[in-house]
Structure 1
Amino acid sequence: MDRIRVVLADDHPIVLAGIRTLLNADPEVELVGEATNGGEALPLIRTLAPQVAVVDVSMPGLSGLELTERVAGECPGTRVLVLTVHEDAAYVQPLMKAGARGYLLKRSAAEDLLRAVHAVAAGGIYLDPSIAGHVMAGPSAAARSPAAADGEILSPRETETLRLIAQGFSNKEIARRIDVSVKSVETYKARAAEKLGLRTRAEIIRYGAAHGWLDALTLR
């Protein structure tokens, strides 16, 4: 039987090494390529045409969400398995809508990665058990956020900064994208969060999901 050909994309060297070890331990899986950012991953996937692409959500270049959308549109024979630290269910629906076939938390990888790869390669859907029960609930709670309608309007920079934070980008990556300093990004984030009453990253993610910021169709 042919082995499952996999491309792996993650910008953290330690994570990359660990996932490589897990994949190489399965004689039915062949790791055919690796990338350390989304920009490298897309041409690699186009060239190698693996059955499965295991990709991180938060990467420089193209985010995991952008990469998933591109792969789904350009490489229909490749199924995307998202591997991430993000446990908030608000991430899941936009990624699945973008074309992902699996969503696995990095903390579950040692036990569940190979099971997820096999499931996705066989044409199935795999959701990490710890979040599967929350996926269908949707972002209704975020839409009802009491601070979301307080009448205080975000500036364009504040809105863009908060949107990119919700999509998983780091302050440094946001600074490059909107051409400002990291300190300015921190300021925009603090002002926006204060105006909306958002205290944690998870609340920002839920707010973003409720307002369509995590929808792959809104990304460019």
Structure 2
Amino acid sequence: MEVGVFSVAIVDDQPVSRAGMERLVGQDPNLWVADSVSTLDDLSRTGPGAYDIVVVDLPAQLATTSLELVSRTAAVGRPLVCASWEQPPTLLSTIRAGARGCITRQSEQTAVRAALRTVAEGGFSLCPRLVDRFQAELSRQVEEDPSGLAPREIETLRWIALGYTHAQVARRMGLSQATVHTYAKRLRAKLNVNNKADLTRMAIELGHLPEKSSPAA
């Protein structure tokens, strides 16, 4: 394969939109479709860097499930996430989960092409349609969380409440296990709890975890 040609995997359970993304990728001589599948588990390659880009469409589901999908996608390539963004997850939480680019299902083709090229070359891309929403989310982040938790502590709380071990949380957040231990200790102190069950309860009460979220297997 020529230097400068980037591999793209497309993950979308809607055949029509998946075919449309295939056509867009095919219009760029520096990109090629290595895989086009319905689910992440259908990808033919595994391991870090298996693809240069993975375009993943977030189906309508619980925010925590969507974030896990983004995190899993980041394990095989740079995620370019497509969603309606009219419901959770937020742009910020998606980026924290590992997204390297965010587009909307209403994005112009020129914006999608630009996002593909930017992410392929190692950059970060945000569709112009999402700029105002992103700025609004950043403004809200300036206000301190009522519980006094920092963004990374909230992210740690979510993963722990979902049933993940500290080692699994560390892998998903790109941190050392020792750092996750430190976050967990801070969480117990700030929330005045002593165990994982109470952390999960507090995560739900503070609105950081939907009550119907399924724990990790």
Q: Please tell me the TM-score bracket, short chain as reference.
A: 0.5 to 0.7
Corresponding residue of 1:12 = 14
Corresponding residue of 1:183 = none
Letter in 1 for 2:24: L
Corresponding residue of 2:172 = none
In 2, Cα distance between equivalents of 1:86 and 1:63: 15
In 2, Cα distance between equivalents of 1:48 and 1:125: 17
Using the TM superposition, give the Cα deviation of residue 64 of structure 1 relative to its aligned residue in structure 2, in angstroms.
4.3
Q: Secondary structure at the match of 1:50?
A: coil
Corresponding residue of 1:201 = none
Using the TM superposition, give the Cα deviation of residue 38 of structure 1 relative to its aligned residue in structure 2, in angstroms.
3.2
In 1, Cα distance between equivalents of 2:90 and 2:84: 11
Cα contact 1:83–1:105 (8 A) shared by 2 = yes
In 2, Cα distance between equivalents of 1:79 and 1:7: 10
Letter in 1 for 2:53: V
**What aligned pairs does 1:188-203 form with structure 2 within 5 A after superposition?**
none
In 2, Cα distance between equivalents of 1:38 and 1:65: 13
In 2, Cα distance between equivalents of 1:5 and 1:70: 18
Using the TM superposition, give the Cα deviation of residue 134 of structure 1 relative to its aligned residue in structure 2, in angstroms.
2.5
TM-score (norm 1): 0.56
Corresponding residue of 1:50 = 51
Using the TM superposition, give the Cα deviation of residue 84 of structure 1 relative to its aligned residue in structure 2, in angstroms.
1.8
Structure 1, unpaired ranges of 5+: 144-207
Using the TM superposition, give the Cα deviation of residue 95 of structure 1 relative to its aligned residue in structure 2, in angstroms.
0.8
Percent identical residues? 25
Per-residue displacement from partner, 1:65-112 (whole Å, max 9, x unpaired)?
Answer: 22221233x33xx21000122246852111100000100012115221
Between 1 and 2, higher relative CO (CA 8 Å, sep ≥ 6) is seen in: 1
Cα contact 1:32–1:48 (8 A) shared by 2 = no
Cα contact 1:7–1:50 (8 A) shared by 2 = yes
Per-residue displacement from partner, 1:124-161 (whole Å, max 9, x unpaired)?
Answer: 111111222322433849x9xxxxxxxxxxxxxxxxxx
TM-score (norm 2): 0.57
Size of the aligned set, in residue pairs, is 146
Cα contact 1:38–1:64 (8 A) shared by 2 = no
Cα contact 1:89–1:131 (8 A) shared by 2 = no
Cα contact 1:89–1:134 (8 A) shared by 2 = no
Corresponding residue of 2:176 = none
Corresponding residue of 2:69 = 67
In 1, Cα distance between equivalents of 2:131 and 2:121: 19
Cα contact 2:111–2:128 (8 A) shared by 1 = no
**What aligned pairs does 1:177-216 form with structure 2 within 5 A after superposition?**
211-213=207-209
Letter in 2 for 1:8: I
Distance change in 2, residues 1:53/1:109 (3 Å)? farther
In 2, Cα distance between equivalents of 1:219 and 1:44: 27
Using the TM superposition, give the Cα deviation of residue 219 of structure 1 relative to its aligned residue in structure 2, in angstroms.
6.8
